[in-house]
A and B are shown apart, each in its own frame.
Chain A
Amino acid sequence: MKVKLTKSATPLVTIMLALFPALAVVAGEKAEDNYRTYCWQCHGMNGDGNGINVRDMSVQPRDHTYGKEMASRSDDELFMAIKEGGPAVNKSVLMPHWDGIFSDEEIRDLVRYLRQRCQCEHGKY
């Protein structure tokens, strides 16, 4: 369930986060920030699969800007690949599980973010 905050609740949330920083983890991070922190290392600053780690990889990381290829994956497949790693969707072991870091909501946000990057939807490019 997605909780929407009213304007009047915003100052209260800010005060709560200032008093209890750990709540921010529960509240979740922005998809763009998660992508930058965790995904850039392999998928690259431009999201094109050319991160600093690719030099000796046997399989190139997915190019998130390549609409044709990204459109062939459903949102559920992308969700599974992020949450449980490449092997969960018959892809490379080089893509690890991220469930230890991202909540399901954060992963759903990342899938939406990937759709913006590829400017595509499942089956539509």
Chain B
Amino acid sequence: MSAARKLVVPIVGIGLLVALIGLPAQADNKGMEILEARCSGCHDLKGPAPATLKELWARKGPDLFYAGNKYKRAWLESWLQKPKRIRPAGYFYVDHIKPTEDGDVIDKSTLKPHMALSAEEAHDVAEALMSLKANSHLITKGEYKPGKISLTMGEMRFDKFRGCMACHEIEPGYGGLSGPEVYTVARRLQEDFMMSYMRDPQAWDPKIFMPNMHLREGDLEKFVHYFRALSEEDFE
């Protein structure tokens, strides 16, 4: 081996190693920079969640300090490039409704679109969000065991037995409007998170307007089966 070659091989090797180790960290940093510069005005990246109504009312968007325990990475990356409203009445419904003679309606003039990111930015931000893992003690990894339930039985449990449809749409244009749509929730959220959040929403977010529904342990898993079945439907 020539002297020049002896020198080049280790340099290339070290370069590759640096690239392999350094790239995720770089994406993480770039994503975090974007989060802090462009997202932290509306999203809490550090916690804790609001402990008073005054703090709840001041919150403009979902808390992100436990994003890595909540969202599915692929969904984040895709949604950030093409954001689409998930809560028909906005993040906090009280700020986006008005009374009419026929009852309260959503005041669409108050709803603003979410900013979109480029593919590269979305990749970096999704990477950074997945590193935010507060409240890990509330998650039991692998708790959800995949299974099946028919859409009819799932809807029966979700609506008739438990009344959850009062606040959530189970298909576009059908269901309640103050909470997030559930027909896309299994694309968005990690299954173990859904189990934990439904078991005790206030453990994650003490003042959130979703009550503790006192669901039986068996219900939790069946609800997630139902959400997964819904997410396979094509409602577009």
Contact = CB atoms under 8 A, between A and B. Distances in A.
B163 interface: yes
Contacts of B206: 25, 101
A29 B209 CA distance: 14
Contact of B213 (A29, A38, A41, A96): A96
Contacts, number: 103
**In which size bucket is the chain B interface?**
35 or more
B211 A96 contact: yes
Contacts of A21: 51-52, 55
B61 interface: no
B202 to A, nearest CB: 5
A63 B62 CA distance: 31
Query: DSSP class of A's interface residues: helix, strand, loop or mixed?
Result: loop
6 nearest A-B residue pairs (beta carbon): A50-B103, A100-B212, A53-B176, A41-B178, A93-B163, A94-B163
Interface in A56-93: 56-57, 86, 92-93
A40 B162 contact: no
B20 to A, nearest CB: 44
Interface of B: 51-57, 89, 93-94, 97-99, 102-106, 160-163, 165-167, 174-178, 200-202, 206-207, 209, 211-214
A42 B166 contact: yes
A54 interface: yes
A97 B212 contact: yes
A99 B202 CA distance: 11
Contacts of B98: 45
